[in-house]
Amino acid sequence: MMDKEAIKNAVLDIIKAIGDDPNREGLIDTPRRFADMYEELFWGMDKNPAEELRVGYEIGHREMVILKDIPFYSMCEHHFLPFYGVVHIGYIPDAEGRVVGISKLARVVEIIAKRPQIQERMATNIADTIEKGLKAVGVAVVIEAEHMCMTMRGIKKPGSSVITSALRGILRKQPASRAEFLALIGH
């Protein structure tokens, strides 16, 4: 459960620590706005993404299912700056051909994205959730993102993309299946 009062107090302390006046007209409501923003940015903290995969359909489909270009925004746990981009997900259903509605895959991404993290862990968590939740024989996740910590501070390289992947089952073990996934997402 998010403690919005603690967030407000922390932001008030930060405003003072950088040498600004928290009672200045433009800053008076900033601690509240910040707490409201964090509630929105981190709503996935208390959610179980696997719940989204509980309702499925056993239709006997045994071929790859792909949802690509799922937009996301997340927050880097190192600097608490955003990173954003797209997620591509592919899975091969189990022997019964169990599939879920495609919006469920996007919901898994959305829940996992709404936590402080690093991109590599995000890819791993999405892949593991889908593999376990669907009992899929293969899962592939590719994330392409731009990190504001690379753009705004430090090295200052806007436009740089980080690409991470997480492969499970057949999509990890069989080069032909992996190549099919990468070709279908345009890589």
Q: What is the pTM of this model?
A: 0.95
List domains and CATH numbers for the chain. Answer: 4-41 (1.10.286.10), 57-184 (3.30.1130.10)
Residue 32 one-letter amino acid = R
Per-residue pLDDT of the chain (187 residues; tens, 9 = 90+): 899 999 999 999 999 999 999 999 999 999 999 999 999 999 999 999 999 999 998 888 899 999 999 999 999 999 999 999 999 999 999 999 999 999 999 999 999 999 999 999 999 999 999 999 999 999 999 999 999 999 999 999 999 999 999 999 999 999 999 999 999 999 8
